[in-house]
Structure 1
Amino acid sequence: MFKLVAIDIDGTLIDDDFKVSKRTVDKIRALRDRGVNVTLATGRTYRSAKQYTDILNIDDPIICYNGALVKDNSNGNIIYDARLPLDISKKIIGFGEKEKLDIKVYTDDTLYVEDDDERTREICKNHKIDYKVIGKLSENIEKGAQMIILIEDEERIREIRKKIDSMDIKNVSYTMSTPRSLEFGAPGVNKGNALKVLADKYGIESKEILAIGNSLNDLGMFKYAGTGIAMKNSDRILLEEWDKVSEYDNNEEGVFHILDKYFD
């Protein structure tokens, strides 16, 4: 019997219109009534993720920024918080500026950007994110980031990934939530390590955990959990690493079907 379920948000819990189906909501609420802990594990900010715990009516801790932050959803207390040092943050940002990439810096529920553009406004509206325009990021960022994202087209990101791997950047880890982005965090930051923090808090063994996701940034929690299930719509880079895949995608109530299979 699983005692903890970890669910990614984008491309997993929600459909392409940012909605959670009624059957999924009802199923998750029923699990909570049975004493099963349900945590959302996401690359989003805490505030952005909390809108979905409100819909689900659950108050379990939320894993944010790909595991850099674990925050108690019942009282707002921070359980775990890992940040990139300021100098390393500036080094990554400076590299992104030199390569002319789209750069997004997240710290304390705020997105920092260089310019105010339509795409930033759209993302912040859809994800309910506060943002600040501060000009050149490498010069004006004042504290270490919880997450830095470099964004470009898929082919260019593959090239950038090779460059990053060849660089001597210590005290950093990175993952991908889409084939178009590289997402940087402090050393050891991933959803799997954050899930272990929660498992230790609850006294739960890894074999008692079910994890559901659709991107490479979910691989860490798949490896840590007793059972990890990738959505049918999962990114190719995840499916190259993981072969336990649902027959349903996020527009077909995939999470509901997975939970219905494992919880009678």
Structure 2
Amino acid sequence: MSSIQTEVVKMIAIDIDGTLLTPQKQISPRTQATIRAAQEAGIIVTLATARRYENSKPFADLLGIQIPLITCDGALILDHPAGIVRHTQLLPAELAQQTVDILVAHRLQPIIHHISGAIEETWSGHAEFDNLGLERYFREFPRVKRKPHDVLCAGQPDPIRVVSFASEEAIERVTPAIAQLPCAWNTIQRGNYGCAEITVMQHSCSKATGVAILASHLGIPMTQVMAIGDNNNDREMIEIAGWGVAMGQAPEAVKASANAVTATNLEDGVAVAIERYALLR
């Protein structure tokens, strides 16, 4: 991609984990101050994350964000701080059930993420398929609706996405079968719950489509959007933005898709990128 910036940045979309946050899950004082400076300069700042809204909004509150957040890898955009659903990209229930069937055949527990009004819901199968990674997830989201696997999605409302947590080897084994479905999917080698993850969504859904939808709503051309991320699920967002920035610790494929590579999340990489490319300091 071009390394020459030609447009003024009017909107910044920032991934949360591995990007906005330090490894200790904090936003550094420098990053907070730099984001505040960008907002004071009239630049719109939002978050574009794989997280649910429920565990994203504390960071948006801390940063004083008062525009929609892009959550669930682009599948759910909600006004903030009101929490009102602005846009969804839902996975058809029939396709979600096919995903469930594949995961169960590999003895992986499916997690189904729904939105009901403005309430996020977690559905899953019976507990015999639970594993260590799920224990950590369920501690964070303890309200789980349990259903038999064969009707977990069949005949149910279209969900936001289907997720599974397991060892990296188990996720690698199930990926070829998931890849045969007419869906969008991504994997993370080690996520917030200490294990690998696979996420399955509607076929056109990604952080990139979420950013594009929000930018269009705000009347901002993609050429004036900066996106900052560090992982495989950030790659399309980085590619579609007028100025895509990869974190210093990002995989080489993600760095190759970016216009620029900033410092790591241990070194205030988000602040460095905003100062250099948005505030032009």
Q: Scaled by the length of structure 2, what TM-score is found?
A: 0.83
Is 1:41 equivalent to 2:53 in the alignment? no
Higher mean C-alpha deviation, range 12-21 or range 76-85? 76-85
Q: Which amino acid is 2:274 matched to?
A: L
Q: Give the equivalent residue in structure 1 for 2:185.
A: 174
Alpha-carbon distance, 1:84 to partner = 1.2
Tell me: CA distance 1:121–1:150, structure 2 relative to 1, closer, same or farther (3 Å): closer
Is 1:205 equivalent to 2:205 in the alignment? no
Counterpart contact for 2:114–2:160, Cα < 8 Å = yes
| Separation in 1, partners of 2:71, 2:262 | 27
Is 1:89 equivalent to 2:96 in the alignment? yes
Task: Show CA shifts across 1:45-70 (max 9, x none).
Answer: 11111111011111121001111111
Q: Which runs of 5+ in 2 are unaligned?
A: 1-7, 191-195
Is 1:186 equivalent to 2:191 in the alignment? no
| Separation in 1, partners of 2:19, 2:150 | 33
| Separation in 1, partners of 2:266, 2:109 | 28
| Separation in 1, partners of 2:268, 2:138 | 25
Count of residues in correspondence between the two structures: 258
Q: Give the equivalent residue in structure 1 for 2:107.
A: 100
Alpha-carbon distance, 1:238 to partner = 3.1
Match of 2:151 among 114, 119, 139: 139
Higher mean C-alpha deviation, range 203-212 or range 180-189? 180-189
Alpha-carbon distance, 1:187 to partner = 2.1
Q: Could you say what secondary structure the match of 1:222 adopts?
A: helix
Alpha-carbon distance, 1:124 to partner = 5.1
Counterpart contact for 2:97–2:152, Cα < 8 Å = no
Q: RMSD of the alignment, in Å?
A: 2.2
| Separation in 1, partners of 2:12, 2:85 | 20
Q: Which amino acid is 1:110 matched to?
A: E
- Give the 4+ runs in structure 1 shifted more than 6 A: none
Match of 1:153 among 167, 187, 192: 167
Task: Show CA shifts across 1:8-63 (max 9, x none).
Answer: 00111111221111111111112112211111001111111111101111112100
Tell me: CA distance 1:243–1:61, structure 2 relative to 1, closer, same or farther (3 Å): closer
Q: Give the equivalent residue in structure 2 for 1:110.
A: 121
The 5 Å alignment of 1:1-264 reads 1-108=8-115, 109-114=120-125, 115=127, 119-123=133-137, 125=139, 129=141, 131-141=143-153, 142-165=156-179, 167=180, 169-170=181-182, 172-178=183-189, 180-235=196-251, 238-239=254-255, 242=257, 244=259, 246-262=261-277, 263=279, 264=281
Tell me: CA distance 1:186–1:56, structure 2 relative to 1, closer, same or farther (3 Å): same
Counterpart contact for 1:221–1:228, Cα < 8 Å = yes
Alpha-carbon distance, 1:181 to partner = 2.4
Q: Could you say what secondary structure the match of 1:106 adopts?
A: strand
Q: Which amino acid is 2:20 matched to?
A: L
Q: Which amino acid is 1:164 matched to?
A: I
Q: Could you say what secondary structure the match of 2:73 adopts?
A: helix
| Separation in 1, partners of 2:167, 2:257 | 24
Counterpart contact for 2:134–2:165, Cα < 8 Å = no
Alpha-carbon distance, 1:92 to partner = 0.4
Tell me: CA distance 1:53–1:69, structure 2 relative to 1, closer, same or farther (3 Å): same
| Separation in 2, partners of 1:29, 1:81 | 28
Counterpart contact for 1:174–1:183, Cα < 8 Å = yes
Q: Scaled by the length of structure 1, what TM-score is found?
A: 0.88
Alpha-carbon distance, 1:258 to partner = 1.2
| Separation in 1, partners of 2:188, 2:276 | 26
Q: Which amino acid is 1:184 matched to?
A: V
Q: Which amino acid is 1:88 matched to?
A: L
Q: Could you say what secondary structure the match of 2:25 adopts?
A: coil
Alpha-carbon distance, 1:186 to partner = 1.1
| Separation in 2, partners of 1:175, 1:119 | 17
Counterpart contact for 1:215–1:234, Cα < 8 Å = yes
Task: Show CA shifts across 1:80-99 (max 9, x none).
Answer: 11211222111101110111
Q: Give the equivalent residue in structure 1 for 2:4.
A: none
Q: Could you say what secondary structure the match of 2:49 adopts?
A: coil
Q: Could you say what secondary structure the match of 1:47 adopts?
A: coil
